[in-house]
A and B are shown apart, each in its own frame.
Chain A
Amino acid sequence: MSTNEMSKTLGPDGGGGALVVGWKANRWWIAGLIVLAVAPFLVYPIFLAKILCFALFAIAFNLLLGYVGLLSFGHAAFFGMAAYISGHVMKEWGVTPEVAILIATASMAVLGVVFGMIAIRRQGIYFAMVTLALSQMVYFLALQSEFTHGEDGIQGIPRGAFLGLVSLESSLSIYYFVAGVFVLGFLFVYRVIHSPFGQVLKSVRENEARATSLGYDTDRYKLLAFTLSATLAGLAGATKVLVFQLASLTDVTWQMSGEVVLMTLLGGVGTILGPVVGAGIVVSMHNLLAEIGSVTTIVQGLIFILCVLVFRRGVVGEVSAWLRRRRSTKKHPRAG
């Protein structure tokens, strides 16, 4: 997409690749909000809240893979550790949920800077291995330290009351709280991607040497992107704790890191809606296959293989490519 197109609108819809202008753009936003508002009356709210948490996680991950081209195989470290921290401060310190989320998210920003500084020293596939190794370190930390309660995890975490006023105990209220967090996260990433900063990130993805030669300190951009991604993954993990009232080792394993890669790959790498769609599919699949032993793992692996071999654009990527093809076979669309 050229920068000329970008300046005309709020930006092309990263998912559809379709250009939308003015009220039309707003129309889609409003439709999305209405869907979010109505959905819990049609589907079990906790299930939806789970999808939204993972969607936010995948969006955070996609910010790094889709827009900077860095594959992190260790994002579970941020997701899971944030879950532990927010669970701990809510249960042991008795703080309100929004404070817990803030503490956990801020901690992940710090951890993100530290891991980022180590990981961006290597490129490409090395980056994946380094992040994987670092997150495994967090896993062992969680396994052994006191406050995570090892194999048991932190259980029975109270949901508390938002700002100390609105109780989040009911399924519906926790859903709307999570939806609010999700929308904020989504808007934030959308804004980042369509900012000048986001454009620099994409240039790093396309040709890092060129970006350097144009005077950009690419390491600083990568570090900032990594930190933002880690922070948002932390936000997702801290929010998930509120829904399930449980922080456990599952969230810090490398399998969880693999899961978020799968969601993004399946939905469509580098599209804004892809991770959301991918999260929806993967979480639903989990619910369907949960009863049948290791089948989930096998199916996940097969989807991975399928995505890589024949389906690299993911669901959203394929759909928008199809839409584009359809549009171009009709007459040329009017400008804009």
Chain B
Amino acid sequence: MMEILGIPAPVFLGQLLLGAINGAFYAVLSLGLALIFGLLNLINFAHGTFYMLGAFVSWLGLRYLGIDYWTSLVVAPLAVALFGIVIERTMLKRLYDLDHLYGLLLTFGLALVIEGVFRQLHGASGQPYAIPSALSGGVNLGFMYLPVYRAWVILASLVMCLVTWLIIERTKLGALLRAATENPDLVRAFGVNVSLMITVVFGFGAALAAFAGVLAAPIYSVNPIMGANLIIVVFAVVVIGGMGSIMGAILSGFLLGLVEGLTKVYWPEASSVVAFMVMAVVLMVKPAGLFGRNA
């Protein structure tokens, strides 16, 4: 059997694939987090909750309304975006003039409430979500077995990240957005409705998280705490990448997923903490983060 660095190739590549999938989720989540942070100066603690909501909306939709996976992929992010917009308009809006810590605390409270409600209603155990038939099965690549759905998750996340990046870096809307991130008052003076922009960006960030949630539903079981565990790692990703750059958030997400996968091969015990260890090292060497512009 072929070996890579002393490990049988299928095992090595299998872990790398798992790492890439986790990395895809990290990338999509930290991308949304970075977008929201840029414009709102808010660390959205409820981002993991939006991810969980995305998964739950698609599970509930399938079970009670017969909404299939493909429709969910559009509907669930829209629903969660709407929810996010309501939150932004009714609560977060009141906090923009205060210390940024209050936004963090408010979204933390929100996360507790929403996760508590779902735990009360559905218990802590996971609900299975079947892989859509078009994406079931796998391909034997000769050196490893590649489940189609996993390939799809990576592809879909990559496309989503790239589209978002293109919108922000290459369109007029994106240019306005970047300008508003730099100096909202000036952009306002040019007659741009910045508060509408803030609302839309928050909704879009929530939608991204929910999109990741729908993608995750068939891989992990759908449960109320799936987001809470993930978001802390995503925070580490964000610190590693530096909030300043969109591409930084995407790259460090995938990178960290792969590092985690490799750690699972060589030092399984450390795989759950490797993200935090990398974060600590990056902070000591380059406090602004790998792609960050300033501290």
Does A associate with B in a complex? yes
**A297/B279 in contact, CB under 8 A:** no
Contact of A125 among B43, B116, B228, B287 (CB under 8 A): B43
Contact of B43 among A128, A137, A144 (CB under 8 A): A128
Is residue B273 within 8 Å, beta carbon to beta carbon, of the partner chain? yes
Binds B, one of A5-13, A167-175, A302-310: A302-310
Is residue B27 within 8 Å, beta carbon to beta carbon, of the partner chain? no
| Complex CA–CA separation, A144 to B269 (angstroms) | 8
**B101/A309 in contact, CB under 8 A:** no
Most A CB contacts (10 A, CB to CB) among B110, B112, B269 go to B112
Instruction: Count chain B residues whose beta carbon lies closer than 8 angstroms to a beta carbon of A.
Output: 45
If A265-B105, A301-B110, A309-B91 touch, whether A133 touches B236 (CB-CB below 8 Å) is yes
Hey, what's the 0/1 contact readout for A110-132 against B, CB within 8 Å counting as 1? 00000000100111111011101
Is residue A323 within 8 Å, beta carbon to beta carbon, of the partner chain? no
If A133-B239, A140-B272 touch, whether A294 touches B105 (CB-CB below 8 Å) is no
Is residue B165 within 8 Å, beta carbon to beta carbon, of the partner chain? no
**A298/B112 in contact, CB under 8 A:** yes
Is residue B260 within 8 Å, beta carbon to beta carbon, of the partner chain? no
If A125-B100, A130-B239 touch, whether A308 touches B276 (CB-CB below 8 Å) is no
**B120/A137 in contact, CB under 8 A:** no
Q: Which of B240-295 contact A (CB under 8 A)?
A: 243, 269, 272-273, 275-277, 279-280, 283-284, 287, 295
Instruction: Count chain A residues whose beta carbon lies closer than 8 angstroms to a beta carbon of B.
Output: 39
Is residue B83 within 8 Å, beta carbon to beta carbon, of the partner chain? no
Is residue B12 within 8 Å, beta carbon to beta carbon, of the partner chain? no
The 4 closest A-B pairs by CB, nearest first: A304-B109, A301-B112, A301-B113, A297-B116
B111 to chain A, nearest CB (A): 7
**A258/B232 in contact, CB under 8 A:** no
**B239/A123 in contact, CB under 8 A:** no
Contact of B120 among A122, A132, A294, A308 (CB under 8 A): A294
Contact of B273 among A140, A295, A305, A307 (CB under 8 A): A140
**B95/A123 in contact, CB under 8 A:** no
**B102/A122 in contact, CB under 8 A:** no
Contact of B106 among A134, A136, A144, A308 (CB under 8 A): A308
Residue on B with the closest CB to A119? B283
Is residue A101 within 8 Å, beta carbon to beta carbon, of the partner chain? no
Determine the chain B residues whose CB is within 8 A of the CB of A132 once the complex forms.
232, 235
If A121-B284, A132-B232, A134-B276 touch, whether A126 touches B239 (CB-CB below 8 Å) is yes
Contact of A71 among B94, B101, B113 (CB under 8 A): B101
Determine the chain A residues whose CB is within 8 A of the CB of B37 once the complex forms.
125
Q: Which of B96-154 contact A (CB under 8 A)?
A: 98, 100-102, 104-106, 108-117, 119-120
Is residue B206 within 8 Å, beta carbon to beta carbon, of the partner chain? no
If A118-B284, A133-B236 touch, whether A141 touches B273 (CB-CB below 8 Å) is yes
A299 to chain B, nearest CB (A): 8
Most B CB contacts (10 A, CB to CB) among A123, A130, A133 go to A133
Between-chain CB contacts (< 8 Å), 19 pairs: A121-B283, A122-B283, A123-B295, A125-B43, A125-B104, A129-B235, A130-B279, A133-B233, A136-B232, A254-B228, A294-B116, A294-B120, A297-B115, A301-B114, A302-B109, A304-B108, A305-B106, A305-B110, A312-B98
**A118/B283 in contact, CB under 8 A:** yes
| Complex CA–CA separation, A307 to B108 (angstroms) | 12
Residue on A with the closest CB to B237? A133
If A258-B108, A300-B112 touch, whether A129 touches B239 (CB-CB below 8 Å) is yes
**A295/B120 in contact, CB under 8 A:** yes
